[in-house]
């Protein structure tokens, strides 16, 4: 058993959980997903998803960690030894995300340096694709490793490790800065964005709801996945963080606060991005829906455009990319924390060794994204890990807690010290709403992904970057759960 650690003071748990939730998911992923799925059409579904599944599942994860005082594998094992694998699977899915997440941080680190002389110039799109990524024309033309990105990747990993060197105690302090400063900068961007010519067209595209789209399962699937991604649900992170909570903590209040702060940040980042897209559309004389590619490159094309138009552009650029990095670092280290909490708890290894191990594997896996085809691989892995991996974890967690444990027990345990009491409807949502809805969405999109490979990539690519890793994660989690349980059996007699 690892030693039980607790948060220094209440504020630090909330801040650390907000820190984990708010990250590139809000400022980088949310705008491109919203753009890809048609702006206003997406926002509506996104908001509905936040309330009907995001917040209830976030509460469930907090409840699991808090009630069992355990990281994800440990907490799920307490439900039944047959569920422990799911905890490991969650951590592995999280690792899948972090493997490319830190690469995006590496891009941001490069842009931080470029800000010093606004190296991206006027054509920010061509700069990103040609100069920064040296993007090849197909997913199998890997080309060579881009050294600048590799360097960024390594620097970011080292930074992540240093931030958590001493455990949750240091985390508590780091996040005071990483959570508050970024908001100020985003607000400056919004003000500049909406005062650009053409901005209103962009905002119209972002905010006009399209009710017909509510019937599109693909949109719901993308919205659910984005909610999981952005709230850090389905990675075992929130379970681990809640396990460090002192007794008598107010879970419901915290969950609401975290979810709303997160959604608000994404929404504000969206305003900045879409206003700028409107401006760009106005300049090139095309409709907003056609001016950009709705993929992982969007942020790195659009934010530099806003920066170019600001007074004191260089300073703004430096501040913005510093902000992006500080937002991202606490999300990334929350996952490293969650993995090392799981491994130390179940295998008794030393925390620092686990952390260094994660970093090394992270850098090695990350190499593929630093090549000229890196953006394509990132796109594929992101799609599968979020749409299939996270999604399944969130779904199965609800089934495990709802059908193999007592949601009532969890609810009573949280309600004891919460100002806002959870009603029985929470149990219904977890037990009867989430599973059928998610299974339906999952089946719809699996069918689609099987019929025609995601994004028009060759089948072999979606197999290597998508199906295969998910399959391996399942096998590895089952093996890890087995080994941990053997160790329990041999280690001590109850």
Q: Is 108 in the site for ligand TRP (CB under 6 A)?
A: no
One of 2, 19, 23, 152 touching ligand TRP (CB under 6 A): 23
One of 32, 46, 101, 224 touching ligand TRP (CB under 6 A): 101
Cβ at position 246, least distance to ligand TRP in Å: 24
Cβ at position 182, least distance to ligand TRP in Å: 12
One of 71, 232, 344, 386 touching ligand TRP (CB under 6 A): 232
Instruction: Indicate the SS3 state at residue 333.
Output: helix
Closest residue to ligand TRP, based on beta-carbon distance: 25
Q: Is the Cβ of residue 196 or residue 238 nearer to ligand TRP in the bound state?
A: 238
Q: Is 26 in the site for ligand TRP (CB under 6 A)?
A: yes
Max CA-CA distance within the chain? 74
Contact 340, 358 (CB under 8 A): yes
What are the residues facing 371 on neighbouring strands? 145
Q: Is the Cβ of residue 75 or residue 135 nearer to ligand TRP in the bound state?
A: 75
Look at residues 336, 335, 258 and name the one whose alpha carbon lies nearest to residue 21. 258
* 333, two tokens: 């280290």
Binding mask 170-209 for ligand TRP (x = CB under 6 A): ----------------------------------------
One of 98, 133, 242, 358 touching ligand TRP (CB under 6 A): 98
* 38, two tokens: 């048609």
Cα separation of 206 and 404, whole Å?
A: 42
Contact 261, 36 (CB under 8 A): no
Q: Is the Cβ of residue 98 or residue 481 nearer to ligand TRP in the bound state?
A: 98
Q: Is 239 in the site for ligand TRP (CB under 6 A)?
A: no
Binding mask 65-94 for ligand TRP (x = CB under 6 A): -----------------------------x
126-140 exposure pattern, b = at least 16 Cβ within 10 A, e = fewer: ebbbeebbbbbeebe
One of 16, 24, 272, 299 touching ligand TRP (CB under 6 A): 24
Range 475-483, long-range pairs (CB < 8 A, 24+ positions): 476/88, 476/92, 477/85, 477/86, 477/87, 477/88, 477/89, 477/92, 478/85, 480/73, 480/85, 480/88, 480/346, 481/73, 481/77, 481/81, 481/84, 481/85, 481/87, 481/88, 483/347
Listed in sequence order, the residues at least 6 apart from 116 whose beta carbon sits closer than 8 Å to its beta carbon are 314, 317, 318
Secondary structure letter of residue 245 according to DSSP: P
Site size with ligand TRP, rule: CB under 6 A: 17
Q: Is 331 in the site for ligand TRP (CB under 6 A)?
A: yes
Q: Is 97 in the site for ligand TRP (CB under 6 A)?
A: yes
Q: Is 235 in the site for ligand TRP (CB under 6 A)?
A: yes
Cα separation of 347 and 340, whole Å?
A: 10
Cβ at position 403, least distance to ligand TRP in Å: 26
Q: Is 296 in the site for ligand TRP (CB under 6 A)?
A: no
Residues that bind ligand TRP (CB under 6 A): 21, 23-26, 94, 97-98, 101, 229-230, 232, 235, 237, 331-332, 335
């Amino acid at each position: 058993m690892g030693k039980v650690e607790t948060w220094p003071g209440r504020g630090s748990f909330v801040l650390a959980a907000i820190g984990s939730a708010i990250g590139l998911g809000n400022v980088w992923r949310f705008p491109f997903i919203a753009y890809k799925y048609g702006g206003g059409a997406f926002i509506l579904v996104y908001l509905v998803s936040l309330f009907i599944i995001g917040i209830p599942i976030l509460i469930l994860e907090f409840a699991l960690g808090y009630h069992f005082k355990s990281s994800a594998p440990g907490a799920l094992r307490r439900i039944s030894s047959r569920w422990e694998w799911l905890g490991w699977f969650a951590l592995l899915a999280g690792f899948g995300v972090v493997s490319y997440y830190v690469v995006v941080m590496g891009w941001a680190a490069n842009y931080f340096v470029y800000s010093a002389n606004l190296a991206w110039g006027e054509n920010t799109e061509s700069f990103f694709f040609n100069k920064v990524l040296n993007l090849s024309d197909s997913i199998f033309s890997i080309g060579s490793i881009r050294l600048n990105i590799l360097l960024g990747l390594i620097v970011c990993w080292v930074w992540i490790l240093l931030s958590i060197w001493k455990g949750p105690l240091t985390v508590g302090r780091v996040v005071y800065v990483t959570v508050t400063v970024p908001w100020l900068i985003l607000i400056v961007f919004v003000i500049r964005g909406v005062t650009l010519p053409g901005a209103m067209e962009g905002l119209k595209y972002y905010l006009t709801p399209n009710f017909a789209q509510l019937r599109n399962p693909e949109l719901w699937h993308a919205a659910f996945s984005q909610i999981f991604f952005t709230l850090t649900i389905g990675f075992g992170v929130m379970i681990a963080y809640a396990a460090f909570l002192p007794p008598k903590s107010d879970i419901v209040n915290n969950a609401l606060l975290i979810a709303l702060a997160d959604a608000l940040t994404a929404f504000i980042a969206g305003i900045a991005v879409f206003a700028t897209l409107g401006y760009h559309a106005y300049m090139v004389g095309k409709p907003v829906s056609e001016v950009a590619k709705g993929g992982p490159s969007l942020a790195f094309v659009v934010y530099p455009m806003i920066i170019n138009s600001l007074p004191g552009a260089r300073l703004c650029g430096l501040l913005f990319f510093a902000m992006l990095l500080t937002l991202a670092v606490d999300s990334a280290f929350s996952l490293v924390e969650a993995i090392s909490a799981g491994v130390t708890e179940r295998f008794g290894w030393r925390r620092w060794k686990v952390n260094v191990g994660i970093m090394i594997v992270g850098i090695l896996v990350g190499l593929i994204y630093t090549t000229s085809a890196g953006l394509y691989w990132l796109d594929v892995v992101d799609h599968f890990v979020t749409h299939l991996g996270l999604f399944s974890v969130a779904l199965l967690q609800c089934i495990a807690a709802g059908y193999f444990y007592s949601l009532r027990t969890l609810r009573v345990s949280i309600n004891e010290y919460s100002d806002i009491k959870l009603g029985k409807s929470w149990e219904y949502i977890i037990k009867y709403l989430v599973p059928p809805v998610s299974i339906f969405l999952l089946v719809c999109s699996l069918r689609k992904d099987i019929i025609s490979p995601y994004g028009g990539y060759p089948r072999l690519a979606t197999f290597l970057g998508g199906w295969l890793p998910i399959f391996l994660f399942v096998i590895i989690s089952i093996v890890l759960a087995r080994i941990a349980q053997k160790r329990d059996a041999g280690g001590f007699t109850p």
